[in-house]
Amino acid sequence: MGTMQLPSHKSVSLAVKSVESKRTGVGSALFGAAWEASSQVTEHIFLASLADKLKDHVAEMDTLRWLGQHPHWGFGIGLAVWILVIVFKLGKEHASEHIAIPQSSLAGRDVNTGGGTLSVGQTLTQTVNDSPSARVVAGDYHETHVRHVDALAEARLEEFRQIDEVIVKKNEMQLREMFDFPDQMAFNIKRARHFHWPTLSSQSDLKEIDEFFVGGQGLIDLDSATRLQVGEDIRMTNRPGHIHIINMSRKFCDTRNVLMVLSSSSKLPLPVANALRELDAVLETNVKLIATTINESYAHNQRNIREADDTSSDRLHRTFNLYWTKFIDLKPRADATSNAIRDFLNAPKDI
């Protein structure tokens, strides 16, 4: 009697795996065939649709056929175009980040763009919009610039207020008195009388004259002077019948110094500063007119000086009154300064 040998567990396991492998292989083959057929159908539909749309575009169809026949060239051309686009974008961002030029330093200048011109303000705004880093730089500059402009504007307004109080608001007589012209003229006439007739002046008269001019300055009228060479020195002396030195009071000197400080301020607009300098030039002219008037009055009639303050004489105040006929009014120069300020502020001149 023969014996039947049963398969081992290992043999059974291998047989099962062989069957499962065959089933899996058959399934994969069927799936691959179906996917390839589907891809071919889809590609056919796409190409048919594209061919239908481009049937009237012969050049485009020829290009597509050429790319189909030369796929490597098509890939190379596409890669080159992509690289050029990337390089162009990077170059544009790099150029935009270099705009940190203060707009005020280039104000009024134009930038040539090839197709026209753009103002610097337009160029700066366009670049800031394109570049975040430039936007930050321009923002910081704008904030600093605004603070600087505000400080300068406030300083200017303060000086405008000072000019308004010191000069603009005063009428002609107030301006003459502020610069001490009436008293300066009166006391220079007293000096001239003492110069020509020393014995007529009392000690109290001389003391009064000296006290008035304490802290003041002297000005030489060259038209009334003569140059003398003494050794290596040159000295100035008066011409016969002339006084050549005019004394100025401390009040005049102090007030004029305020005017000179204002006119030399770097914060004042140039037209305003020039108007103040014109006023100062008129002041100097009027000071020199003191000597001119006294000498002219003395030459016409010596009694005009000798009896200038004699209330019983018909020569009373003759020289004093002659001076005011020659005097250059100050108010028109003050008004010119006011107009310069109004022009700068764009304010009407009739308010």
Kindly report, residue by residue over 198-233, the tens digit of the pLDDT: 999 999 999 999 999 999 999 998 888 888 888 888
Kindly report, residue by residue over 252-264, the tens digit of the pLDDT: 999 999 999 999 9
Interacting residues of 343 by C-beta distance below 8 A, sequence separation 6+: 271
Token pair 């899996």 in the structure block, residue: 24
Q: In terms of DSSP H, where are the helices of the chain?
A: 9-53, 58-69, 71-96, 120-130, 132-163, 172-178, 181-196, 203-213, 250-263, 270-300, 303-306, 318-326, 331-345
User: Stretch 236-253: mean pLDDT, rounded?
Assistant: 93
Average pLDDT over the chain, rounded to an integer: 77
Residue 8: is its pLDDT beyond 60? no
pTM here?
Answer: 0.58
- Quickly state the pLDDT bin for 154 (edges 50, 70, 90): confident
Domain definitions of the chain by residue range: 80-169, 172-345
Higher pLDDT, 88 or 345: 345
User: Stretch 99-118: mean pLDDT, rounded?
Assistant: 41
Predicted local distance difference test score (pLDDT) of residue 90: 74
User: Stretch 90-97: mean pLDDT, rounded?
Assistant: 56
Predicted local distance difference test score (pLDDT) of residue 50: 62
Of the chain, the percentage scoring pLDDT greater than 70 comes to 62
